Amino acid sequence: MKKSLISLFTAAIATLMLASCSKDAAQLTKSGLNPADFKTDSTALYVLTNSNGMEVCFTNFGGRIVSIMVPDKQDTLRDVCLGHDNIADYEKYGAEGCNFGALIGRYGNRIAKGQFTLDDVTYQLPINNGPNSLHGGGPIAFHNRIWEANKVDEQNIEFTTKSLDGEDGYPGTVEVKVTYTLADDNSLKINYQATTDKATVLNLTNHCYFNLSGDGTKDCLDEVLTLDADQFTAVDADVAVTGEVLNVEGTPFDFRTPTAIGDRIDDESNQQIVNGHGYDHNWILNTKGDISKCFGTLYDPNTGIKMEMFTDQPGLQFYAGNFLDGSFVGKKGVKYPRRSAFCFETQHYPDSPNHPEWPSTTLCPGEKYETTTIYKFSVEK
C-alpha cells in the first residue's frame, strides 16, 4: 500500500511538471520569445497574427518590432528581423545606438552639427554621432521611451506618445500615434500620425534590421536588392549629407536592376562607399510619393523569401549593417556580425531643415503629419 501511494504521488508530480512545461511551451511565440522576458511594470510583448499563420511581435519599449515570422519556400517559418529576446537586452544595447526594430524620432537620420533654424530661431540638439545629431539624438528620443500600447485586435496595434516642447532641443509639444497592421496578404503596414502645438520639424521612421535568410549568425550579402531610384544624396566623412545630389548611373549605388548587395559594397574606388563604410545613404525614390508603386524589393535566393516595399515618402535610407560587429547579443544568444541585416528607413531626406531646396519636414499647428510604409512578404520557389 505504501509503495502504491508513493507511485501515485510520483506520477502526480510528473503529470504536474509535464503540464507546467506544456503551459510554458504554449506561451512561447512562434519565434521562440517568452512574453515573461518582456514583462515589467511598464513594458510587455505584443503579438499580431494573420490568417496565413504569419506572426509579428512588438514591445512598447521604443515601439519596436521584435520578430517577423514569414514562410520560406519550404513553408518553414523564419524570423527575418534582428533583435533581442528580452527587455533587459533592449535597454542595455539600446543605449549604444543599434535601435533594433525601433520607432525613430523626432528626426530620423542625421542633422548636421545638431542645429537647425526655424522661424528665425536656432535650435541645438544633442550631439551623439560624431559632430552630428542622429535619430533624435537625446536620452528621451523615441527609441528610448516607453510608448502607450493599444492592441486593437489580432492584426492591429497602436503605439502613442507625447513629446513635450523642448525635449531633446526640439520645439513644440508633439503627439504621435503609430499603427502597425499585419494584413492577410502578408504585408506589414506602418502608419505614422502626429500633430504639434508649435512649428517644429518631424521625420519619423522605423529601424528594423531585415535578414531574409532568417540566420543572424552570418552576413547576408548574397541577398538581392532592387531600388527604383536614379539619384542619391552624397555624404561626407561623418556620413552627414553634403547637399550634393549624385546620379547612380555607373556607380555602386545603382540598384535599378536586381543586384546582390555584396557585389560592390566594398568598392573603395568610390569615395561615397568610403565615406559611408559601405551603404548608409539616402536614395531619392522615383515613385515620388505614390504608395501604390513598389519602390524596392529584397530577395533571398536561398530561402526564396521576397520583400516588396512601398511608401509615400520621397527618400529611403538604405543602411547595410556596417557597424554591427558581433558585440550585440541577439535572440537565442547570437552575436550579430557585420552586415548580418539591412535597414530600409523610409523618410524625408537627412538634414532637410538645413536644405530648403529639399522637401520640407516642417510641421505647423493645425496640420496633420501622416505617412505610411508597407513591407510585403512573399515567396519565389
User: What amino acid positions are annotated as catalytic residues?
Assistant: 207, 345
Instruction: Specify whether the CB–CB gap between 178 and 191 falls below 8 A.
Output: yes
Q: What's the DSSP call for residue 356?
A: T
Amino acid identity for residue 234 in this structure: A
| Cell output for 68 | 517577423
Longest dimension (CA), the chain: 92
61 strand-pairing partners: 146
What is the identity of the amino acid at 330?
A: G
- The rounded distance, in Å, linking the Cα atoms of 374 and 184 is 13
Strand partners of residue 201: 362
Other CB atoms within 10 A of residue 26 CB: 7
504608395: which residue's cell? Answer: 291
Amino acid symbol at 199: A
5: its cell numbers:
501511494
Among 327, 92, 81, smallest CA distance to 188 is for: 81
Whole-number Å distance between alpha carbons of 272 and 130: 17
Alpha-carbon distance of 290 to 310, in angstroms, equals 8
Q: How far is residue 189's CA from residue 196's CA, in Å, rounded to a whole number?
A: 24
3-state secondary structure of 283: strand
Torsion sign, CA atoms 331, 334, 338, 342? negative
**What is the C-alpha to C-alpha distance for residues 283 and 233, in angstroms, rounded to an integer?**
7
Torsion angle (degrees, nearest 10) of CA 98, 179, 57, 315: -40
Contact status, residue 231 vs residue 284, Cβ threshold 8 Å: yes
